[in-house]
Structure 1
Amino acid sequence: MSKTKRTLLLLLITTMLYSTSAPAHTAAAPSAPVAAIYMDGNLLQLDAQPLLVKDTVLVPMRQLFEEQGAKLSWNGATKTVTANKDNLNMTYHIGEQTAYLNGQPLNLTVPGQINQGYTMMPLRFVSEALGSTVKWDANTRTVRITTKVDYTTTVLSGVNLRNTPDSTVDSSALEMLPKGEKVHVIKEVGAFWLEVRTQDNKIGYISAKPKYTDYTSTTLAEQQADELIAYGEKYLGRPYEFGASTDQTDTFDCSSFVRHVYLDKLSIELPRVSYNQAKEGQEVGINELRKGDLLFFSARGLDIGHVAIYVGNNKILHTYSKELGVHYETLGDKWMKRFVTARRMF
Protein backbone atom coordinates (compact mmCIF):
# COMPACT_ATOMS: atom_id res chain seq x y z
CA MET A 1 0.00 0.00 0.00
CA SER A 2 1.31 3.36 -1.01
CA LYS A 3 2.09 6.09 1.49
CA THR A 4 -0.73 8.25 0.11
CA LYS A 5 -3.30 5.44 0.44
CA ARG A 6 -2.17 4.70 4.01
CA THR A 7 -2.62 8.39 4.92
CA LEU A 8 -6.12 8.50 3.41
CA LEU A 9 -7.09 5.29 5.22
CA LEU A 10 -5.89 6.68 8.55
CA LEU A 11 -7.92 9.85 8.05
CA LEU A 12 -11.02 7.81 7.22
CA ILE A 13 -10.71 5.67 10.36
CA THR A 14 -10.20 8.74 12.56
CA THR A 15 -13.30 10.40 11.10
CA MET A 16 -15.41 7.25 11.69
CA LEU A 17 -14.28 6.95 15.30
CA TYR A 18 -15.10 10.62 16.02
CA SER A 19 -18.53 10.41 14.41
CA THR A 20 -19.56 7.36 16.49
CA SER A 21 -18.35 8.77 19.83
CA ALA A 22 -19.76 12.32 19.63
CA PRO A 23 -23.49 13.16 19.70
CA ALA A 24 -25.00 14.65 16.58
CA HIS A 25 -26.29 17.71 18.45
CA THR A 26 -24.48 18.79 21.60
CA ALA A 27 -26.44 21.37 23.67
CA ALA A 28 -24.26 24.01 25.26
CA ALA A 29 -24.34 23.46 29.02
CA PRO A 30 -25.22 26.58 30.99
CA SER A 31 -22.11 28.09 32.50
CA ALA A 32 -21.65 30.74 35.19
CA PRO A 33 -18.69 33.01 34.43
CA VAL A 34 -20.15 35.90 36.45
CA ALA A 35 -17.83 37.05 39.22
CA ALA A 36 -20.25 39.31 41.11
CA ILE A 37 -23.57 41.12 40.89
CA TYR A 38 -24.01 44.49 42.59
CA MET A 39 -27.26 46.33 43.17
CA ASP A 40 -26.95 50.02 43.96
CA GLY A 41 -23.36 49.34 45.04
CA ASN A 42 -24.22 46.44 47.35
CA LEU A 43 -22.98 42.93 46.59
CA LEU A 44 -25.89 40.51 46.14
CA GLN A 45 -25.61 37.22 48.01
CA LEU A 46 -27.57 34.93 45.73
CA ASP A 47 -29.18 31.67 46.80
CA ALA A 48 -27.93 29.95 43.63
CA GLN A 49 -25.02 30.47 41.24
CA PRO A 50 -25.88 32.72 38.27
CA LEU A 51 -26.17 31.00 34.89
CA LEU A 52 -24.92 32.34 31.58
CA VAL A 53 -27.02 31.03 28.68
CA LYS A 54 -26.47 32.46 25.19
CA ASP A 55 -24.78 35.56 26.66
CA THR A 56 -27.74 36.11 29.02
CA VAL A 57 -27.29 36.05 32.81
CA LEU A 58 -30.02 34.23 34.74
CA VAL A 59 -30.39 34.54 38.53
CA PRO A 60 -32.86 33.30 41.18
CA MET A 61 -36.27 34.78 40.44
CA ARG A 62 -37.45 35.82 43.90
CA GLN A 63 -34.28 37.71 44.81
CA LEU A 64 -34.21 39.42 41.42
CA PHE A 65 -37.72 40.82 41.84
CA GLU A 66 -37.80 41.52 45.57
CA GLU A 67 -34.38 43.19 45.75
CA GLN A 68 -35.75 45.70 43.23
CA GLY A 69 -38.86 46.44 45.29
CA ALA A 70 -41.36 44.25 43.43
CA LYS A 71 -43.92 42.14 45.29
CA LEU A 72 -43.95 38.62 43.94
CA SER A 73 -46.56 35.87 43.74
CA TRP A 74 -45.88 32.41 42.34
CA ASN A 75 -48.31 29.78 41.03
CA GLY A 76 -46.45 26.51 41.16
CA ALA A 77 -49.17 24.60 39.31
CA THR A 78 -48.96 26.80 36.20
CA LYS A 79 -45.36 27.96 36.79
CA THR A 80 -46.55 31.56 36.54
CA VAL A 81 -44.90 34.51 38.25
CA THR A 82 -46.74 37.79 38.86
CA ALA A 83 -44.79 40.82 40.05
CA ASN A 84 -46.03 44.26 41.04
CA LYS A 85 -44.01 47.41 41.59
CA ASP A 86 -45.64 50.83 41.80
CA ASN A 87 -47.80 51.02 38.64
CA LEU A 88 -46.09 48.09 36.92
CA ASN A 89 -47.55 44.59 36.67
CA MET A 90 -45.62 41.74 35.05
CA THR A 91 -46.90 38.24 34.30
CA TYR A 92 -44.72 35.45 32.95
CA HIS A 93 -44.98 31.68 32.44
CA ILE A 94 -41.63 29.98 32.98
CA GLY A 95 -40.21 28.56 29.75
CA GLU A 96 -42.06 30.91 27.39
CA GLN A 97 -40.49 33.55 25.15
CA THR A 98 -43.04 36.25 25.99
CA ALA A 99 -43.85 38.12 29.21
CA TYR A 100 -46.57 40.71 29.72
CA LEU A 101 -45.93 44.12 31.26
CA ASN A 102 -49.18 45.96 32.02
CA GLY A 103 -50.80 43.73 29.43
CA GLN A 104 -48.26 44.48 26.67
CA PRO A 105 -46.13 41.59 25.32
CA LEU A 106 -42.36 41.69 25.76
CA ASN A 107 -40.03 39.17 24.09
CA LEU A 108 -37.24 37.40 25.98
CA THR A 109 -34.07 36.38 24.17
CA VAL A 110 -33.67 33.54 26.68
CA PRO A 111 -36.68 32.15 28.59
CA GLY A 112 -36.72 31.62 32.33
CA GLN A 113 -35.98 28.11 33.53
CA ILE A 114 -36.00 25.90 36.61
CA ASN A 115 -32.47 24.76 37.45
CA GLN A 116 -31.65 22.52 40.43
CA GLY A 117 -34.81 23.56 42.23
CA TYR A 118 -34.39 27.31 41.61
CA THR A 119 -36.51 29.35 39.24
CA MET A 120 -34.04 31.41 37.23
CA MET A 121 -34.94 34.56 35.29
CA PRO A 122 -32.98 36.77 32.85
CA LEU A 123 -31.36 39.50 34.93
CA ARG A 124 -31.30 42.28 32.34
CA PHE A 125 -34.83 41.65 31.07
CA VAL A 126 -36.45 41.72 34.50
CA SER A 127 -34.36 44.62 35.81
CA GLU A 128 -35.02 46.87 32.83
CA ALA A 129 -38.72 46.01 32.86
CA LEU A 130 -38.80 47.23 36.48
CA GLY A 131 -37.12 50.49 35.52
CA SER A 132 -33.55 49.64 36.55
CA THR A 133 -30.41 50.03 34.45
CA VAL A 134 -27.91 47.21 33.97
CA LYS A 135 -24.22 47.46 33.08
CA TRP A 136 -21.82 44.61 32.32
CA ASP A 137 -18.10 44.99 32.97
CA ALA A 138 -16.39 42.38 30.81
CA ASN A 139 -12.96 42.97 32.39
CA THR A 140 -14.12 42.13 35.92
CA ARG A 141 -17.05 39.93 34.81
CA THR A 142 -19.29 42.04 37.05
CA VAL A 143 -22.95 43.03 36.66
CA ARG A 144 -24.06 46.33 38.18
CA ILE A 145 -27.75 47.11 38.61
CA THR A 146 -28.95 50.59 39.44
CA THR A 147 -32.56 50.59 40.57
CA LYS A 148 -35.21 53.20 40.10
CA VAL A 149 -36.30 53.82 43.68
CA ASP A 150 -39.22 55.85 44.97
CA TYR A 151 -38.81 56.95 48.58
CA THR A 152 -42.50 57.05 49.46
CA THR A 153 -42.65 55.64 52.99
CA THR A 154 -42.42 58.24 55.77
CA VAL A 155 -41.01 57.59 59.23
CA LEU A 156 -43.64 58.70 61.78
CA SER A 157 -41.58 58.14 64.92
CA GLY A 158 -37.82 57.73 65.37
CA VAL A 159 -36.91 54.14 64.56
CA ASN A 160 -33.66 52.16 64.56
CA LEU A 161 -32.24 50.93 61.26
CA ARG A 162 -30.84 47.49 62.14
CA ASN A 163 -28.54 45.06 60.41
CA THR A 164 -30.94 42.13 60.96
CA PRO A 165 -34.73 41.89 61.43
CA ASP A 166 -34.34 41.47 65.17
CA SER A 167 -34.24 43.78 68.18
CA THR A 168 -32.36 41.45 70.53
CA VAL A 169 -28.70 41.66 71.44
CA ASP A 170 -27.88 39.72 68.26
CA SER A 171 -28.90 42.74 66.19
CA SER A 172 -27.09 46.05 66.15
CA ALA A 173 -28.57 49.44 65.27
CA LEU A 174 -26.89 51.06 62.27
CA GLU A 175 -28.47 54.43 62.96
CA MET A 176 -31.65 56.14 64.17
CA LEU A 177 -33.98 57.25 61.39
CA PRO A 178 -35.72 60.46 62.52
CA LYS A 179 -39.36 61.42 62.14
CA GLY A 180 -40.04 62.67 58.62
CA GLU A 181 -37.28 60.62 56.96
CA LYS A 182 -38.29 59.00 53.66
CA VAL A 183 -37.35 55.39 52.94
CA HIS A 184 -37.97 52.83 50.23
CA VAL A 185 -39.47 49.53 51.38
CA ILE A 186 -37.70 46.65 49.65
CA LYS A 187 -39.84 43.92 51.19
CA GLU A 188 -41.84 42.83 54.22
CA VAL A 189 -40.10 40.42 56.58
CA GLY A 190 -42.79 38.62 58.56
CA ALA A 191 -45.34 40.63 60.51
CA PHE A 192 -42.99 43.01 62.30
CA TRP A 193 -40.09 44.00 60.04
CA LEU A 194 -39.47 45.89 56.82
CA GLU A 195 -36.30 45.73 54.79
CA VAL A 196 -35.68 49.30 53.61
CA ARG A 197 -33.27 51.47 51.66
CA THR A 198 -32.49 54.95 52.97
CA GLN A 199 -31.90 57.97 50.76
CA ASP A 200 -28.16 57.74 51.41
CA ASN A 201 -28.31 54.15 50.08
CA LYS A 202 -28.06 52.25 53.37
CA ILE A 203 -30.01 48.98 53.51
CA GLY A 204 -31.31 47.57 56.79
CA TYR A 205 -34.40 46.62 58.75
CA ILE A 206 -36.92 48.75 60.68
CA SER A 207 -39.95 47.88 62.75
CA ALA A 208 -43.13 47.37 60.72
CA LYS A 209 -45.36 48.31 63.65
CA PRO A 210 -47.84 51.02 62.61
CA LYS A 211 -46.49 53.70 64.94
CA TYR A 212 -43.16 53.92 63.15
CA THR A 213 -44.07 54.48 59.47
CA ASP A 214 -47.05 55.14 57.22
CA TYR A 215 -46.33 51.96 55.20
CA THR A 216 -49.37 49.76 54.70
CA SER A 217 -50.23 46.68 52.68
CA THR A 218 -52.98 44.07 52.77
CA THR A 219 -50.54 41.22 53.40
CA LEU A 220 -48.79 43.02 56.26
CA ALA A 221 -52.10 43.99 57.90
CA GLU A 222 -53.29 40.39 57.74
CA GLN A 223 -50.09 39.05 59.28
CA GLN A 224 -50.22 41.64 62.07
CA ALA A 225 -53.89 40.87 62.74
CA ASP A 226 -53.05 37.16 63.07
CA GLU A 227 -50.32 38.00 65.58
CA LEU A 228 -52.68 40.31 67.49
CA ILE A 229 -55.42 37.68 67.73
CA ALA A 230 -53.00 34.90 68.68
CA TYR A 231 -51.68 37.11 71.46
CA GLY A 232 -55.20 37.93 72.70
CA GLU A 233 -56.04 34.23 72.68
CA LYS A 234 -53.42 33.66 75.38
CA TYR A 235 -55.84 35.34 77.79
CA LEU A 236 -58.85 33.14 77.07
CA GLY A 237 -60.78 32.61 80.30
CA ARG A 238 -59.00 35.47 82.11
CA PRO A 239 -61.56 36.86 84.63
CA TYR A 240 -63.67 39.93 83.88
CA GLU A 241 -63.55 42.92 86.25
CA PHE A 242 -65.27 46.18 85.46
CA GLY A 243 -62.78 49.04 85.74
CA ALA A 244 -59.77 46.69 85.85
CA SER A 245 -56.46 48.48 86.28
CA THR A 246 -54.40 48.83 83.10
CA ASP A 247 -51.13 48.07 84.90
CA GLN A 248 -51.98 44.40 85.41
CA THR A 249 -53.32 41.44 83.39
CA ASP A 250 -54.89 39.29 86.14
CA THR A 251 -58.31 40.67 85.18
CA PHE A 252 -59.72 42.74 82.31
CA ASP A 253 -62.75 44.67 81.29
CA CYS A 254 -63.54 45.01 77.59
CA SER A 255 -61.56 48.17 76.92
CA SER A 256 -58.56 47.34 79.13
CA PHE A 257 -58.25 44.00 77.32
CA VAL A 258 -58.28 45.63 73.88
CA ARG A 259 -55.91 48.35 75.02
CA HIS A 260 -53.42 45.86 76.45
CA VAL A 261 -53.39 43.58 73.38
CA TYR A 262 -52.96 46.46 70.93
CA LEU A 263 -50.22 48.13 72.96
CA ASP A 264 -48.25 45.02 73.80
CA LYS A 265 -48.33 43.45 70.35
CA LEU A 266 -48.46 46.37 67.90
CA SER A 267 -47.31 49.34 70.02
CA ILE A 268 -50.63 51.08 69.28
CA GLU A 269 -51.63 53.08 72.34
CA LEU A 270 -55.41 53.40 72.67
CA PRO A 271 -57.40 55.44 75.21
CA ARG A 272 -58.58 53.64 78.34
CA VAL A 273 -62.36 53.52 77.73
CA SER A 274 -64.31 52.21 74.75
CA TYR A 275 -66.12 55.52 74.09
CA ASN A 276 -62.78 57.25 73.46
CA GLN A 277 -61.29 54.27 71.64
CA ALA A 278 -64.14 54.62 69.12
CA LYS A 279 -62.72 58.01 68.10
CA GLU A 280 -59.40 56.50 66.99
CA GLY A 281 -58.42 55.08 63.63
CA GLN A 282 -60.57 54.99 60.51
CA GLU A 283 -64.27 54.14 60.38
CA VAL A 284 -65.17 51.09 58.25
CA GLY A 285 -68.51 49.61 57.26
CA ILE A 286 -69.82 46.41 58.76
CA ASN A 287 -69.45 44.75 55.34
CA GLU A 288 -65.83 45.88 55.03
CA LEU A 289 -64.50 44.26 58.20
CA ARG A 290 -61.13 42.57 58.28
CA LYS A 291 -59.32 40.78 61.08
CA GLY A 292 -58.08 43.10 63.80
CA ASP A 293 -60.79 45.77 63.38
CA LEU A 294 -62.52 47.00 66.54
CA LEU A 295 -66.29 46.81 66.92
CA PHE A 296 -68.17 49.13 69.28
CA PHE A 297 -71.56 48.52 70.85
CA SER A 298 -74.03 50.29 73.12
CA ALA A 299 -74.02 49.01 76.71
CA ARG A 300 -75.05 50.02 80.23
CA GLY A 301 -77.24 52.82 78.86
CA LEU A 302 -74.29 54.38 77.02
CA ASP A 303 -74.16 55.05 73.30
CA ILE A 304 -70.83 53.22 73.30
CA GLY A 305 -70.05 51.03 76.29
CA HIS A 306 -68.44 47.90 74.86
CA VAL A 307 -65.63 46.99 72.47
CA ALA A 308 -64.55 43.73 70.79
CA ILE A 309 -61.87 42.60 68.34
CA TYR A 310 -63.09 41.18 65.04
CA VAL A 311 -61.27 37.90 64.29
CA GLY A 312 -62.85 36.95 60.96
CA ASN A 313 -65.56 34.46 59.97
CA ASN A 314 -68.18 36.52 61.84
CA LYS A 315 -66.45 35.97 65.20
CA ILE A 316 -65.31 38.41 67.88
CA LEU A 317 -62.86 38.21 70.79
CA HIS A 318 -63.83 40.18 73.90
CA THR A 319 -64.79 40.12 77.57
CA TYR A 320 -67.85 41.30 79.51
CA SER A 321 -68.91 38.31 81.62
CA LYS A 322 -67.59 37.13 84.99
CA GLU A 323 -68.62 33.61 84.02
CA LEU A 324 -66.83 33.56 80.66
CA GLY A 325 -64.01 36.07 81.02
CA VAL A 326 -62.09 36.62 77.78
CA HIS A 327 -63.76 34.50 75.09
CA TYR A 328 -64.70 34.09 71.43
CA GLU A 329 -68.29 34.65 70.37
CA THR A 330 -70.35 34.78 67.21
CA LEU A 331 -71.25 38.24 65.95
CA GLY A 332 -74.99 37.42 65.90
CA ASP A 333 -78.25 39.33 66.20
CA LYS A 334 -77.66 39.90 69.91
CA TRP A 335 -74.67 42.08 69.11
CA MET A 336 -75.77 43.50 65.77
CA LYS A 337 -78.80 45.10 67.45
CA ARG A 338 -76.36 47.05 69.64
CA PHE A 339 -73.69 47.72 66.99
CA VAL A 340 -72.65 51.36 66.69
CA THR A 341 -69.43 51.59 64.63
CA ALA A 342 -66.30 49.76 63.51
CA ARG A 343 -62.82 51.29 63.48
CA ARG A 344 -59.61 50.22 61.75
CA MET A 345 -56.45 50.96 63.73
CA PHE A 346 -53.81 49.61 61.30
Structure 2
Amino acid sequence: MKKQLAALLLATTLTAGIGLVAPHEAHAASAQIVSGVNFRDTPSTSSKVIRMLKKGESVNIVSKVNNYWYQVRDANGKVGYVSTDSKYIKSSSSGNSSSGNSGNSGSGSSNNNTSTNTSATVTKIINAGKKYLGTPYEFGSSRSNTKTFDCSDFVRQAFKDGAGITLPSDSRQQADYVKKLGNTTTNWHNLKPGDLMFFMDYKGTSKSAYPTNKSNQRISHVAIYLGNGQVLHTYSKDSGGVRIDSIEGKHWEYRFVFGGSALK
Protein backbone atom coordinates (compact mmCIF):
# COMPACT_ATOMS: atom_id res chain seq x y z
CA MET A 1 0.00 0.00 0.00
CA LYS A 2 2.86 2.35 0.90
CA LYS A 3 4.57 1.57 -2.43
CA GLN A 4 1.37 2.39 -4.28
CA LEU A 5 1.04 5.73 -2.44
CA ALA A 6 4.67 6.57 -3.18
CA ALA A 7 4.19 5.82 -6.87
CA LEU A 8 1.04 7.94 -6.94
CA LEU A 9 2.82 10.85 -5.26
CA LEU A 10 5.72 10.59 -7.72
CA ALA A 11 3.37 10.63 -10.71
CA THR A 12 1.50 13.63 -9.29
CA THR A 13 4.76 15.51 -8.72
CA LEU A 14 5.95 14.84 -12.27
CA THR A 15 2.61 15.94 -13.72
CA ALA A 16 2.67 19.14 -11.67
CA GLY A 17 6.24 19.80 -12.76
CA ILE A 18 5.25 19.53 -16.39
CA GLY A 19 2.43 21.99 -15.75
CA LEU A 20 4.99 24.58 -14.60
CA VAL A 21 6.45 24.89 -18.09
CA ALA A 22 5.33 28.16 -19.67
CA PRO A 23 2.75 27.55 -22.41
CA HIS A 24 4.81 29.41 -25.03
CA GLU A 25 8.18 27.89 -24.12
CA ALA A 26 8.01 25.14 -26.69
CA HIS A 27 7.74 27.53 -29.62
CA ALA A 28 9.30 30.73 -28.26
CA ALA A 29 11.68 32.26 -30.79
CA SER A 30 15.23 32.87 -29.65
CA ALA A 31 16.65 36.36 -30.13
CA GLN A 32 19.75 38.38 -29.40
CA ILE A 33 20.02 41.90 -28.01
CA VAL A 34 21.73 44.06 -30.64
CA SER A 35 22.22 47.10 -28.41
CA GLY A 36 21.27 48.01 -24.85
CA VAL A 37 17.52 48.23 -24.37
CA ASN A 38 15.18 48.73 -21.40
CA PHE A 39 13.55 45.55 -20.08
CA ARG A 40 10.16 46.71 -18.75
CA ASP A 41 7.44 45.14 -16.61
CA THR A 42 4.60 46.19 -18.95
CA PRO A 43 4.50 47.10 -22.68
CA SER A 44 4.71 50.86 -22.17
CA THR A 45 7.52 53.41 -22.23
CA SER A 46 6.15 54.84 -18.97
CA SER A 47 6.33 51.49 -17.14
CA LYS A 48 8.95 50.38 -14.60
CA VAL A 49 12.33 49.34 -15.99
CA ILE A 50 13.32 45.93 -14.62
CA ARG A 51 16.88 46.35 -15.88
CA MET A 52 18.86 47.12 -19.00
CA LEU A 53 19.35 44.16 -21.35
CA LYS A 54 22.94 44.30 -22.59
CA LYS A 55 24.27 43.87 -26.11
CA GLY A 56 24.88 40.19 -26.86
CA GLU A 57 22.37 38.81 -24.34
CA SER A 58 20.14 36.00 -25.52
CA VAL A 59 16.40 36.04 -24.81
CA ASN A 60 13.33 34.11 -25.88
CA ILE A 61 10.47 35.99 -27.54
CA VAL A 62 7.36 34.68 -25.81
CA SER A 63 4.95 36.73 -27.91
CA LYS A 64 4.62 39.83 -30.05
CA VAL A 65 2.23 42.10 -28.17
CA ASN A 66 1.85 44.59 -31.04
CA ASN A 67 4.03 46.36 -33.62
CA TYR A 68 6.03 48.02 -30.86
CA TRP A 69 6.53 45.43 -28.08
CA TYR A 70 7.79 41.88 -27.58
CA GLN A 71 7.16 39.88 -24.42
CA VAL A 72 10.48 38.14 -23.76
CA ARG A 73 12.10 35.84 -21.21
CA ASP A 74 15.71 36.48 -20.23
CA ALA A 75 18.36 33.87 -19.30
CA ASN A 76 17.25 34.03 -15.65
CA GLY A 77 13.64 33.19 -16.54
CA LYS A 78 12.36 36.71 -15.90
CA VAL A 79 9.54 37.77 -18.24
CA GLY A 80 9.22 41.36 -19.38
CA TYR A 81 8.82 43.58 -22.43
CA VAL A 82 11.22 45.16 -24.93
CA SER A 83 10.93 47.24 -28.09
CA THR A 84 10.50 45.32 -31.38
CA ASP A 85 12.86 47.76 -33.12
CA SER A 86 15.53 45.81 -35.01
CA LYS A 87 18.23 48.15 -33.75
CA TYR A 88 17.64 46.67 -30.27
CA ILE A 89 16.72 43.04 -30.86
CA LYS A 90 17.24 40.48 -33.61
CA SER A 91 15.19 37.31 -33.81
CA SER A 92 16.85 34.13 -35.05
CA SER A 93 13.47 32.72 -36.12
CA SER A 94 11.16 33.93 -38.89
CA GLY A 95 8.12 32.31 -37.27
CA ASN A 96 5.55 34.24 -35.30
CA SER A 97 5.63 33.14 -31.66
CA SER A 98 2.56 35.16 -30.69
CA SER A 99 0.01 32.90 -32.31
CA GLY A 100 0.64 29.93 -30.01
CA ASN A 101 -0.27 27.60 -32.89
CA SER A 102 2.97 25.76 -33.62
CA GLY A 103 1.06 22.96 -35.29
CA ASN A 104 -0.12 25.16 -38.15
CA SER A 105 2.62 24.91 -40.76
CA GLY A 106 1.11 27.73 -42.80
CA SER A 107 0.97 30.33 -40.02
CA GLY A 108 4.55 31.58 -40.45
CA SER A 109 4.09 32.04 -44.18
CA SER A 110 0.84 33.92 -43.69
CA ASN A 111 2.38 36.31 -41.17
CA ASN A 112 5.38 36.90 -43.39
CA ASN A 113 3.06 37.69 -46.31
CA THR A 114 1.13 40.15 -44.13
CA SER A 115 4.36 41.82 -43.06
CA THR A 116 5.55 42.01 -46.68
CA ASN A 117 2.23 43.47 -47.83
CA THR A 118 2.31 46.10 -45.06
CA SER A 119 5.90 47.01 -45.90
CA ALA A 120 5.00 47.40 -49.59
CA THR A 121 2.04 49.63 -48.69
CA VAL A 122 4.22 51.80 -46.46
CA THR A 123 6.75 52.20 -49.28
CA LYS A 124 3.98 53.27 -51.66
CA ILE A 125 2.67 55.83 -49.15
CA ILE A 126 6.11 57.32 -48.53
CA ASN A 127 6.91 57.45 -52.25
CA ALA A 128 3.54 59.08 -52.92
CA GLY A 129 4.32 61.71 -50.29
CA LYS A 130 7.82 62.38 -51.63
CA LYS A 131 6.29 63.05 -55.03
CA TYR A 132 4.94 66.29 -53.54
CA LEU A 133 8.25 67.56 -52.12
CA GLY A 134 8.33 71.34 -52.51
CA THR A 135 4.57 71.71 -52.98
CA PRO A 136 3.63 75.06 -51.36
CA TYR A 137 2.07 75.25 -47.91
CA GLU A 138 -1.36 76.77 -47.39
CA PHE A 139 -3.28 76.64 -44.12
CA GLY A 140 -6.75 75.24 -44.73
CA SER A 141 -5.78 74.08 -48.22
CA SER A 142 -8.43 72.64 -50.51
CA ARG A 143 -8.90 68.88 -50.18
CA SER A 144 -10.01 68.71 -53.82
CA ASN A 145 -6.63 69.51 -55.43
CA THR A 146 -2.90 69.06 -54.84
CA LYS A 147 -1.69 72.58 -55.69
CA THR A 148 -1.10 73.42 -52.02
CA PHE A 149 -1.20 71.50 -48.72
CA ASP A 150 -1.43 72.06 -45.02
CA CYS A 151 -0.03 69.29 -42.80
CA SER A 152 -3.11 67.08 -42.52
CA ASP A 153 -4.10 67.58 -46.16
CA PHE A 154 -0.64 66.41 -47.24
CA VAL A 155 -0.75 63.28 -45.06
CA ARG A 156 -4.26 62.53 -46.27
CA GLN A 157 -3.17 62.82 -49.91
CA ALA A 158 -0.10 60.59 -49.43
CA PHE A 159 -2.26 57.81 -47.94
CA LYS A 160 -4.93 58.28 -50.61
CA ASP A 161 -2.40 58.09 -53.47
CA GLY A 162 -0.22 55.36 -52.00
CA ALA A 163 -2.73 53.06 -50.33
CA GLY A 164 -6.19 54.13 -51.45
CA ILE A 165 -6.98 55.06 -47.84
CA THR A 166 -8.91 58.28 -47.16
CA LEU A 167 -7.96 59.54 -43.71
CA PRO A 168 -9.94 62.21 -41.83
CA SER A 169 -9.34 65.78 -42.99
CA ASP A 170 -7.60 67.37 -39.98
CA SER A 171 -4.75 66.39 -37.66
CA ARG A 172 -6.87 65.95 -34.52
CA GLN A 173 -9.31 63.64 -36.30
CA GLN A 174 -6.36 61.73 -37.77
CA ALA A 175 -4.94 61.40 -34.24
CA ASP A 176 -8.25 60.00 -32.99
CA TYR A 177 -8.31 57.58 -35.94
CA VAL A 178 -4.84 56.24 -35.12
CA LYS A 179 -5.68 55.98 -31.41
CA LYS A 180 -8.72 53.84 -32.19
CA LEU A 181 -6.51 51.39 -34.10
CA GLY A 182 -4.63 50.88 -30.83
CA ASN A 183 -0.93 50.67 -31.73
CA THR A 184 0.43 53.97 -30.41
CA THR A 185 3.55 55.04 -28.56
CA THR A 186 4.77 58.23 -26.84
CA ASN A 187 8.40 57.35 -27.61
CA TRP A 188 9.24 58.26 -31.19
CA HIS A 189 12.19 55.83 -31.15
CA ASN A 190 9.61 53.02 -31.18
CA LEU A 191 7.95 54.22 -34.39
CA LYS A 192 8.28 52.45 -37.70
CA PRO A 193 8.50 54.01 -41.19
CA GLY A 194 5.06 55.04 -42.40
CA ASP A 195 3.70 55.69 -38.90
CA LEU A 196 2.05 59.03 -38.23
CA MET A 197 3.49 61.46 -35.68
CA PHE A 198 1.33 63.96 -33.84
CA PHE A 199 2.64 67.16 -32.28
CA MET A 200 1.48 69.86 -29.88
CA ASP A 201 1.74 73.63 -30.48
CA TYR A 202 5.14 75.23 -30.91
CA LYS A 203 6.39 76.86 -27.68
CA GLY A 204 10.03 77.51 -28.52
CA THR A 205 13.25 75.67 -29.31
CA SER A 206 14.11 74.68 -25.72
CA LYS A 207 13.07 71.34 -24.25
CA SER A 208 12.19 73.08 -20.98
CA ALA A 209 9.48 75.05 -22.79
CA TYR A 210 7.39 71.89 -23.16
CA PRO A 211 5.56 69.90 -20.46
CA THR A 212 6.80 66.45 -19.50
CA ASN A 213 3.26 65.06 -19.56
CA LYS A 214 1.78 65.90 -22.95
CA SER A 215 -1.23 63.57 -22.80
CA ASN A 216 -3.72 66.45 -22.57
CA GLN A 217 -2.05 68.69 -25.14
CA ARG A 218 -3.96 69.81 -28.22
CA ILE A 219 -2.75 68.19 -31.46
CA SER A 220 -1.77 70.87 -33.98
CA HIS A 221 0.52 69.08 -36.45
CA VAL A 222 0.94 65.70 -38.14
CA ALA A 223 3.84 64.17 -40.08
CA ILE A 224 4.83 60.86 -41.68
CA TYR A 225 7.76 59.11 -39.98
CA LEU A 226 10.43 57.94 -42.43
CA GLY A 227 12.76 56.21 -39.96
CA ASN A 228 16.18 57.27 -38.64
CA GLY A 229 14.66 60.31 -36.94
CA GLN A 230 13.33 61.85 -40.13
CA VAL A 231 9.82 63.05 -40.96
CA LEU A 232 8.03 63.97 -44.16
CA HIS A 233 5.64 66.89 -43.65
CA THR A 234 4.70 70.50 -44.37
CA TYR A 235 4.13 73.28 -41.88
CA SER A 236 4.71 76.81 -43.21
CA LYS A 237 5.13 78.91 -46.34
CA ASP A 238 8.58 80.08 -45.23
CA SER A 239 9.85 76.50 -44.85
CA GLY A 240 9.35 75.80 -48.55
CA GLY A 241 6.31 73.52 -48.41
CA VAL A 242 6.52 69.72 -48.28
CA ARG A 243 9.94 68.74 -46.94
CA ILE A 244 11.96 66.23 -44.92
CA ASP A 245 13.29 67.17 -41.47
CA SER A 246 15.32 65.50 -38.73
CA ILE A 247 13.58 65.77 -35.38
CA GLU A 248 16.07 64.56 -32.75
CA GLY A 249 17.25 67.31 -30.41
CA LYS A 250 14.96 69.83 -32.06
CA HIS A 251 11.62 71.35 -31.12
CA TRP A 252 9.87 68.61 -33.13
CA GLU A 253 11.14 66.03 -30.65
CA TYR A 254 10.00 68.11 -27.68
CA ARG A 255 6.58 68.76 -29.23
CA PHE A 256 5.91 65.10 -30.07
CA VAL A 257 2.80 63.78 -28.26
CA PHE A 258 2.31 60.29 -29.71
CA GLY A 259 2.42 58.32 -32.91
CA GLY A 260 1.34 55.07 -34.49
CA SER A 261 0.19 53.28 -37.59
CA ALA A 262 -2.84 54.40 -39.59
CA LEU A 263 -2.95 51.02 -41.35
CA LYS A 264 -5.45 48.45 -40.09
Query: TM-score by structure 2 length?
Result: 0.49
Name the one with the larger strand percent.
1
Structure of greater Rg = 1
Q: Which has the higher contact order (CA 8 A, sep 6+)?
A: 2
Name the one with the larger helix percent.
2
Query: TM-score by structure 1 length?
Result: 0.38
